[in-house]
Amino acid sequence: MVQTLEALKMEAKASKEMYKAELKELQYEILNAQQFLRNNNIGLVLVFEGMDAAGKGGAIKRLTERLDPRGYVVHPISAPQPHEKAYHYLHRFWTRLPQYGQIAIFDRSWYGRVLVERIEGFARTKEWKRAYEELNQFERQLTDENYIVLKFWLHVTEDEQLKRFEERKNDPYKAWKLTDEDWRNREKFPQYHEAANDMFAKTDTENAPWILVAGNNKHYARVAVLKETLKHIEREVKARGLQLTNILNNETDN
């Protein structure tokens, strides 16, 4: 079944109490999974895409909060630098892949080719149209080896996005997050919506699936990201004939 943004239940919520109760336990389960992946030499690649102010950074922060910092890296991806344009567009992602047993988290990713580059005209039509298969092949090469790949799209409605933009504008500690480009991109919300749906239809694969998360409620979205990450890791290690065992002390309070 093809996933679409229209099918998301944007009213989904989690109470603050439920969020606090679940978050700590899920974070320790993620830490357990990290140690398991390291011990079994399995690399994990997590992709985060979504509308501006959809909560990608907040979800990544909660996902990594209790991880061993020696075992993961977060790559914030922006427009390619001049020297990166001298290579194939996937080159800068190949060089950021994690070692086996490590985790790499991409805050934006290679999907820029079929999102911002498509919409802004940075890639020619024939380039972004052929990119769907190129990206599928890229991810297939990873998952055919000892990598697990999971892709998240965090979504907010236009009204919620505007509310968050205004909050950022008025908060001196968050104003740096808001740029003129963010305001300009709001005018192209429908185009990003269409491009995202095309992307899901062409690149949501069994080996590297897209997980669409309703992000209007931050607590709900953060818990959903942790749960889906764990579920996918468990499924993938089981497919490899392994069992995700708990190697941590369940009584840990730290």
- pLDDT digit string (tens) for the chain, length 254 residues: 679 999 999 999 999 999 999 999 999 999 999 999 999 999 999 999 999 999 999 999 999 999 999 999 999 999 999 999 999 999 999 999 999 999 999 999 999 999 999 999 999 999 999 999 999 999 999 999 999 999 999 999 999 999 999 999 999 999 998 988 899 889 999 999 999 999 999 999 999 999 999 999 999 999 999 999 999 999 999 999 998 876 544 433 44
Contact 45, 111 (CB under 8 A): no
For residue 58, the model assigns a pLDDT of 97
pTM, two decimal places: 0.94
Give the separation between CA 218 and CA 237, rounded to whole angstroms: 29
For residue 247, the model assigns a pLDDT of 52
**What ranges do the domains of the chain cover?**
5-238
What CATH code is assigned to 5-238? 3.40.50.300
Side-chain half-sphere CA neighbours of 225 within 13 A? 31
Give the separation between CA 45 and CA 53, rounded to whole angstroms: 22
Helix 125-144 / helix 189-203 crossing angle, nearest 10 deg: 40
**Among 155, 134, 153, 152, which Cα is nearest to 232's?**
152
**Single-letter amino acid, residue 172:** P
Helix 16-39 / helix 56-64 crossing angle, nearest 10 deg: 60
For residue 243, the model assigns a pLDDT of 87
Q: What are phi and psi of 171, to 5 degrees?
A: -110, 110
For 244, the 3-state DSSP assignment is coil
